[in-house]
Chain A
């Protein structure tokens, strides 16, 4: 009897702790949503508003009116799609020979790729901006996307995926006279689709969220992606907190919805990284 009470107590306390931490993680989002949806009451007051009052969509409509949010969405979508596509193509092309072909200097190339992981990359954008100026790409999305297409981690993840494809398949295709390109494109690539999806989703989140580089290389605010545009909103319409909150919600909503539907890919990406 007391054992079962103990068990119940433990379960309750576990859920209590889990919920408390969940509240700390989620509350800022909730509060921002409440502010964005209400039109009445003071913003900052004691006790704070935990529930919307005078629910309306006015602040969202206002956000659409004062800043070009639709353009921001379009820009974010464009940048994200281009980064994901570019990365999947370029990184899987690079990972394939590293995993499946014997060629002179393969060790050296592997070393070069690994070396980029320890290079000081934090302020690469200082020099990358000069580079973009010199090749006249400033103010283009090409400039936003190009530096983010290749990362060592993506190449390594995809190499690992290629490593797991059975050698017999490749041998059989080579005996049949298939060219290396056909083997890559028709046989091996379809087999690693789950890994392509993982890399694609992780990349999409990174690309969608990046704000520093786009705001450096793009000068016209209406060409910003959402992540940079939302800060621009704070700078320009600093007084209207509710509209800023609405803009903030409009910025995070797509990524949160996408995340909830694709959770397992995030966990798998981690698995690969830990190995």
Chain B
């Protein structure tokens, strides 16, 4: 009897397993094809001389060696590191903005929406619009001239000393609203008592911000900063729509180099090798951040 019950329960479990996997099958299949396969096959291809039209040969580390002998890639790596400058500005800006829009002022909903508009705008449109703004005779130069910040119009996208910073600014402009909403959600889940107690104790706004708000937001700040660091290291879409790497290759980032080689010049293995170097850097940084900055979170 118990044997029978046992086999019945085995059949039932099997049926349930089968059913669960039937539910999961389409998603797993797509993940396998478009998330895992590209990494596996791509890392293999980065060790070959792959092209769509001839036979494939194993070439060992040749692509990687060529990468580090290439000035354009090295410039790209340097620029990707420089891009990290965007992170503190974005995060501090986003926290301040979140605190500002967390006030219950009439019409605040519309301000929040306005700050989020750049986030929902496609990068290609952002590139075209900021191309207008950065024009020699464009609005940005006009405003800066009027404020006497600059003496003559600057070539924001045509001067190789400036272009990367212009690209970085656009990245900042696009990111601000996104992180603001993250911080806003975190702020709204904080208990109000702490703030009230601090007000009773006579703490001013500045003290309350640095001594109470920031420490309580620490977990969110950590998550957002890591996301922001990884996004900065992986920046390339802004480059594509604003400068395409120019002037004089001064705005190449590491991943834009990967994209440019892999897609525009059809040197796929080289592009893949570059992208894996970037990925390895990102994984290492994420690992270090999670491990050392947040030891209490270790499981």
Residues of A within 8 A of B (CB): 11, 14-15, 17-18, 21-22, 24-29, 31-32, 35, 44-48, 89-91, 93-94, 96-98, 101-106, 109, 112-113, 116, 118-124, 126-128, 130-131, 133, 146-147, 149-150, 155, 180, 184, 205, 208-212, 216, 226-228, 230-231, 234, 241, 244-245, 248, 251-252, 255-256, 259-260, 263, 266-267, 270-271, 273-274
Q: Is the CB of B283 within 8 A of A256?
A: no
Minimum C-beta distance from A233 to chain B (A) = 9
- Residues of chain A within 8 A (CB-CB) of B166 are none
Give Cα A260 to B114, complex, Å: 9
Query: Are A127 and B37 also in contact (CB < 8 A) when A94-B28, A104-B17, A109-B24 are?
Result: yes
- Name the 9 nearest CB pairs between A and B, nearest first: A120-B279, A44-B137, A94-B27, A209-B122, A103-B20, A127-B38, A97-B20, A28-B129, A147-B34
Q: Is the CB of A15 within 8 A of B122?
A: no
Is B33 in contact with A131, judged by CB distance below 8 angstroms? yes
> Number of contacts between A and B (CB, 8 Å)?
250
Task: Give the interface centre of B20, B36, B111, B258 by most chain A CB atoms within 10 Å.
Answer: B20
B92 within 8 A of partner (CB): no
In the complex, A48 Cα to B153 Cα: how many Å? 13
| Number of residues from B at the complex interface, CB < 8 A | 89
Contact across chains for A28 and B109 when beta carbons are under 8 A apart? no
Residues of A within 8 A of B278 (CB): 120, 122
Chain A proximity of B164: nearest CB distance (Å): 19
Q: Please, which residues of chain B bring their CB within 8 A of the CB of A105? A: 17
Q: Interface of B with A (CB < 8 Å)? A: 13, 16-17, 19-21, 23-24, 26-28, 30-31, 33-39, 41-42, 45, 52, 97, 100-101, 103, 105, 108-109, 111-118, 120-130, 132-133, 135-139, 142, 145, 173, 176-177, 181-182, 184-186, 220, 223, 234, 236-237, 240-241, 255, 258-259, 262-263, 268, 271-272, 275-276, 278-279, 282-283, 286
- Cα separation A162 to B20 with both chains bound (whole Å): 15
In the assembled complex, the CB of B292 is this many whole angstroms from the nearest CB of chain A, namely: 18
Are B39 and A21 interface neighbours, CB within 8 A?
no
User: Which B residues touch A98, using CB under 8 A?
Assistant: 24
Residue in B33, B109, B117 whose Cβ sees the most chain A Cβ within 10 Å: B117
Given A116-B36, A120-B279, do A227 and B132 touch, yes or no (CB 8 Å)?
no
CB distance from A132 to the nearest CB of B (A): 10
Partner of B111, one of A22, A109, A124, A270: A22
Known A-B contacts A146-B30, A150-B27; A116 and B20 likewise in contact (beta carbons under 8 Å): no
- CB of B16 within 8 A of CB of A101, answer yes
Instruction: Offer 9 A-B interface pairs, CB within 8 angstroms, sorted by A.
Output: A31-B132, A118-B286, A123-B258, A123-B262, A147-B34, A150-B30, A227-B123, A270-B182, A274-B185
Cβ–Cβ < 8 Å partners of A128 in chain B? 34, 38
Determine whether the beta carbon of B275 is less than 8 Å from that of A180.
no
Tell me the bound Cα distance from A25 to B26 in angstroms.
Answer: 40
Q: Which residues of B contact A133 (CB under 8 A)?
A: 52
Q: Are A209 and B259 in contact (CB under 8 A)?
A: no
